[in-house]
């Protein structure tokens, strides 16, 4: 009854102030002491004797005491523990089984309580999942963990994949659900099997979810049909498989392989738009004028039969008049040439009325039989990649428009440009470069598009990189909204339903429009789930890549092998860079730049680092580096600039 009593709350605040209580996060410094970080401007030393009570990352309440003009923090209460469920390595010491969390900031060996209850006999170095069951500030005893499950043996080459997936509680295997026959959806499917649909993908792609057919009309305009694989014709809403897809949300693309959202029998076979197989699709018919405008958008269900499975590199070679590959017949050649024409028209339209960004290469790991990295291949985006990209962007614009006009909801990708809390900082930086804007203008879609074009016209990417940290993140929403990053009024993806659950939902919404059924708006809890799973998948892919990069680049330590490197971030500790040959992220410590620390001036705000009057670096610079050290355990790579 006293929980919300105002007087009681005020009394607690007075007592806290009187006893010098503060709340903050523990930051370990790796030398038996740490700091309590209250905010970006204030921190207190935690002595060695008190660090035994806490762990790096714990949010705690502490009392502050002074001694000889120095303030110290004494941990008193645990607010939020840093560790709960975690993955670590097993160690045996004095007949006690301990686990060390797989975290570069944590070096504590934590005793495990329940070894006898587990069937698996752990060996030194084995990986396991554990959860914290005792904390000194909460349980008045030492740290203790409880083992939940075995992950993988210490010497297994596939540790990067299974350890990372276990850490984020992500699936290791495809779903194994017995499939049923097609659902009777009361859809009148058009028979388009005689049209010359083609697919263009990576040469090893099995889950082909889009096919295209294009023709030139008598007035010179183009008529495009985008046919998308239709898993919702097999997966009924609320079924067991639908529940699994809603839990996974995405096919998880990892270095070396993928873990599909749907059973492989469905994603790689029954629904995949393989050549010469009759397949059900959801299709969009649209006319494109020579100026790039979209007219007569129409969604419908259909049957198609792809006439050719084409590969990006081969199609690009043919269009660039290199290599030996050529289309099997004149009809396929005509489809490619018309799609190329469409691509050029739409790129020009987006340059004038939306936004087109320069893409980075895709980096692909070539993995050996034992999980080793044989090579990292940089795959540039070529003509054929752009053909498919423009067709899919066009298709998603159509879906966003129809869902907005007919329903007012759907699964939308939304990006609002600059984060409003950082808008004034962005305006100040632009002013330094003689680009004068105001908050009212650049928070509109038209204003943001105009600014982006000005930035793209800059001689380097320096200003672009400085402004990137002031932009908001793209989000998933159940309501239409602008996508500033693409320069579009709204954007709803439906072109990858065998890979994305959100696209499956948009399929069901579009089908409801086609049939004329009523359908409800996807609820916010689903939006949150999709967003969180997307975040976890991206983190998992990054963590596995970092691990594989560390393994791969170990052989270059101490050699004279030169890497072309882009500076992406400058801090007081050093420079974060990307190796452009393979995409790895690395770090240049200040000591590798100049031995006299006081002669180095790092300006985080300006993205610059100067060494007296000798030389300087800035964000977006391209420099040459060599690898000096690789720590596989922490997945960190250190490089030195060649000055």
Q: What's the chain's average pLDDT?
A: 92
* Residue 527 structure tokens: 């939006």
Q: Are 361 and 377 in contact (CB under 8 A)?
A: no
Given this model, what pLDDT does residue 116 score?
66
Q: Residue 10 above 80 pLDDT?
A: no
Distance CA 306, CA 196 (A): 7
Q: What is the 3-state secondary structure (H, E, C) of 171-182?
A: CCCCCCCCCCCC
CB 302 within 8 A of CB 189: yes
Interatomic CA distance for residues 115 and 97, integer angstroms: 7
User: pLDDT digit string (tens) for 220-252?
Assistant: 999 999 999 999 999 999 999 999 999 999 999
Question: CA Rg, the chain, in Å?
Answer: 28
Contact 405, 391 (CB under 8 A): no
| Partners of 588 in the β-ladder | 575
Model confidence at 405: pLDDT above 50 = yes
Contact (CB, 8 A) for 249 and 502 = yes
Beta bridge partners of 363: 378
Q: How far is CA 191 from the centre of its chain?
A: 38
* pLDDT band at residue 13 using 50, 70 and 90 as cut-offs: low
CA dist 612 → 276, 450, 531, 617 (Å): 68, 38, 46, 12
Active site residue 312: yes
Residues β-bridged to residue 640:
626
Which phi and psi angles does 115 have, rounded to 5°?
A: -60, -40
Q: Do domains 17-80 and 557-641 have the same CATH topology?
A: yes
CA dist 590 and 567 (Å) reads: 14
Q: Are 146 and 114 in contact (CB under 8 A)?
A: yes
Q: Is 303 exposed, middle or buried (0-12, 13-18, 19+ CB in 10 A)?
A: middle
369 is an active site residue = no
Q: Please give the span between the terminal C-alpha atoms of the chain, in angstroms, as a whole number.
A: 69
Which residue is catalytic, options 102, 126, 196, 209?
209
Does residue 213 have an active-site annotation? no
88 closest CA partner among 98, 96, 79? 98
Task: Give the 3-state secondary structure of 414-427.
Answer: EECCECHHHHHHHH
Domain boundaries, the chain: 17-80, 85-156, 190-392+521-544, 416-472, 557-641
Q: Dihedral (C-alpha) 561, 564, 568, 574: value to the nearest 10 degrees? A: 30
Per the rule left: phi > 0, alpha: psi between -120 and 50, beta: everything else, 329 is: beta
- Full 3-state SS string of 125-141: CCEEEEEEEECHHHHCC
11 pLDDT higher than 70: no
The mean pLDDT value for 85-105 works out to 89
pLDDT at 180 over 80: no
Residue 325 pLDDT > 90: yes
Find the mean pLDDT for residues 99-121: 83
pLDDT at 108 over 90: no
Does residue 329 have an active-site annotation? no
Q: What is the mean pLDDT of residues 36-44?
A: 86
pTM metric for this prediction: 0.90
What's the rounded Cα separation, in Å, for the pair 111 and 100? 9
Q: What percent of the chain has pLDDT over 90?
A: 75
Mean pLDDT over residues 303-321, rounded?
A: 97
Q: Which residues, in sequence order, are bridge partners of residue 223?
A: 215, 287
The residues with which 86 forms a beta bridge, in sequence order, are 130
Phi, psi angles (nearest 5°) of residue 609: -140, 125
Q: Which residues of 557-580 are buried (b: 16+ CB within 10 A; e: fewer)?
A: eeeeeebebbbbbbeeebbebbbb
Residue 271, both tokens: 């629904």
pLDDT digits (tens, 9 = 90+) for 570-607: 988 899 999 999 999 999 999 999 888 888 888 888 88
State how far the alpha carbon of 202 is from the alpha carbons of 206, 310, 383, 556, in Å. 9, 8, 13, 30
Q: Which position has the higher pLDDT, 5 or 545? A: 545
The β-bridge relationship of strands 475-477 and 412-414 is antiparallel
Between residues 14 and 476, the one the model is more confident about? 476
Is pLDDT at 74 greater than 60 in this prediction? yes
Residue 413: both structure tokens together: 């990708």
Distance of alpha carbon 436 from alpha carbon 267, whole angstroms: 50
- pLDDT at site 14: 53
* Catalytic residue list contains 317: no
**Which residue shows structure tokens 């420079």?**
575
- Pairing verdict, β 608-611 and 600-603: antiparallel
The answer to whether the beta carbons of residues 231 and 480 sit under 8 Å apart is: no
240, 267 in Cβ contact below 8 A? no
Q: Which CATH superfamily is domain 17-80 in?
A: Nucleic acid-binding proteins (2.40.50.140)
Q: Which residue has the higher pLDDT, 16 or 392?
A: 392
Both tokens of residue 64? Answer: 């502050």
- Decide if 546 contacts 582 (C-beta within 8 A): no
CB-CB contact of 611 with 599 (8 Å) = yes
- Segment (H or E) for 343: helix 330-353
Task: Write down the catalytic residue from 82, 91, 312, 340.
Answer: 312
Of 452, 499, 578, 635, the active-site residue reads: 499
- Across 365-386, average pLDDT: 93
> Per the residue annotation, which of 196, 210, 242, 317 is the catalytic one?
210
Known catalytic residue at 172: no
Report the C-alpha gap between 343 and 381 in whole angstroms. 14
Alpha-carbon separation of residue 450 from 283, 336, 402, 434, 442 (angstroms): 34, 33, 27, 15, 8
Across 453-477, average pLDDT: 90
As beta bridge partners, residue 229 has 281
With CA atoms as reference, report the closest residue to 174 among 247, 251, 234, 239: 251
The active-site residue out of 58, 102, 126, 207 is 207
Residue 268 DSSP one-character state: I
85-156 CATH fold: OB fold (Dihydrolipoamide Acetyltransferase, E2P) (2.40.50)
Sign of CA dihedral 47, 92, 172, 244: negative
Per-residue pLDDT, 30: 66
pLDDT of 602 reads: 86
Q: Look up residue 350 and give its two tokens.
A: 């987006």
Q: Is the pLDDT higher at 14 or at 309?
A: 309
- Bridge partners (DSSP) of residue 476 are 413
pLDDT bracket for residue 1 (50, 70, 90)? very low
Q: 557-641: what CATH class?
A: mainly beta
Q: Which of 58, 201, 242, 503 is catalytic?
A: 201
φ and ψ at residue 188, rounded to 5 degrees: -90, 100
């Amino acid at each position: 009854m006293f929980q919300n009593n105002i007087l009681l709350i005020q009394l607690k605040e007075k007592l806290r102030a009187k006893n010098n209580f503060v709340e903050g996060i523990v930051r370990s410094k790796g030398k038996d002491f740490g700091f309590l970080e209250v905010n970006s401007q204030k921190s207190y030393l935690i002595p060695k004797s008190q660090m035994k009570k806490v762990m790096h990352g714990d949010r705690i309440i502490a009392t502050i005491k002074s001694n000889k003009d120095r303030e110290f923090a004494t941990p008193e209460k645990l607010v939020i523990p840093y560790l709960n469920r975690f993955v670590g390595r097993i160690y045996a010491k004095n007949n006690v089984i301990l686990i060390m969390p797989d975290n570069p900031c944590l070096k504590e060996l934590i005793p495990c309580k329940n070894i006898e209850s587990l069937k698996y006999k752990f060996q030194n170095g084995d990986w396991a999942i554990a959860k914290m069951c005792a904390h000194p500030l909460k349980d008045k005893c030492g740290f203790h963990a409880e083992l939940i499950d075995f992950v993988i043996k210490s010497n297994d080459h596939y540790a990067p994949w299974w350890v990372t997936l276990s850490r984020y509680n992500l699936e290791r295997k495809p779903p194994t659900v017995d499939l049923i026959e097609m659902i009777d959806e009361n859809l009148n499917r058009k028979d388009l099997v005689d049209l010359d649909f083609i697919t263009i993908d990576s040469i090893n792609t099995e889950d082909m979810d889009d096919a295209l057919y294009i023709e030139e009309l008598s007035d010179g305009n183009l008529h495009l049909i985008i046919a998308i694989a239709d898993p919702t014709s097999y997966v009924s809403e609320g079924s067991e498989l639908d529940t699994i897809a809603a839990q996974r949300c995405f096919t998880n693309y990892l270095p070396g392989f993928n873990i599909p959202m749907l059973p492989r029998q469905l994603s790689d076979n029954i629904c995949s738009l393989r050549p010469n197989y009759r397949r059900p699709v959801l299709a969009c018919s649209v006319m494109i004028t020579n100026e790039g405008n979209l007219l007569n958008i129409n969604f419908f269900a259909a049957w198609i039969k792809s006439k050719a499975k084409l590969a990006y590199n081969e199609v690009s070679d043919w269009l660039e008049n290199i290599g030996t590959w050529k289309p099997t017949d004149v009809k396929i050649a005509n489809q490619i040439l018309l799609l190329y024409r469409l691509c050029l028209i739409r790129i020009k339209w987006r340059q004038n009325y939306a936004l087109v960004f320069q893409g980075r290469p895709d980096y692909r790991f070539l993995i050996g039989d034992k999980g080793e990295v044989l090579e990292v291949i940089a795959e540039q985006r070529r003509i054929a990649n752009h053909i498919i990209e423009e067709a899919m962007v066009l298709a998603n614009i159509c879906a966003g428009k129809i869902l907005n006009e007919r329903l007012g909801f759907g699964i939308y990708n939304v990006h609002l440009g600059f984060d409003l809390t950082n808008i004034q900082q962005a305006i100040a930086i632009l002013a330094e470069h003689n680009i004068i804007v105001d908050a009212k203008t650049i928070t509109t879609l038209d204003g943001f598009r105009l600014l982006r074009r000005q930035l793209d016209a800059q001689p380097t990417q320096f200003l672009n990189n400085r402004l990137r940290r002031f932009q908001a993140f793209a989000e998933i929403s159940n309501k239409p909204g602008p996508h500033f990053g693409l320069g579009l009024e709204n954007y709803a993806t439906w072109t990858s339903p065998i890979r994305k659950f959100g696209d499956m939902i948009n399929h069901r919404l579009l089908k409801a429009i086609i049939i004329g059924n009523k359908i409800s708006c996807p609820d916010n809890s689903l939006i949150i789930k999709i967003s969180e799973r997307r975040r976890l998948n991206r983190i998992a892919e990054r963590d596995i890549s970092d691990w594989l990069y560390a393994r791969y680049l170990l052989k270059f330590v101490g050699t004279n092998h030169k890497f072309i490197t882009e500076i992406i971030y400058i801090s007081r500790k050093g420079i974060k860079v990307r190796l452009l040959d393979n995409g790895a992220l690395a770090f240049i410590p200040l000591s590798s730049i100049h031995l006299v620390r006081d002669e180095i001036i790092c300006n985080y705000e300006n993205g610059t680092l100067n060494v007296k009057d000798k030389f300087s670096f800035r964000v977006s610079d391209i420099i040459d580096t060599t690898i000096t050290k690789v720590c596989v355990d922490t997945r960190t790579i250190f490089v030195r600039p060649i000055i």
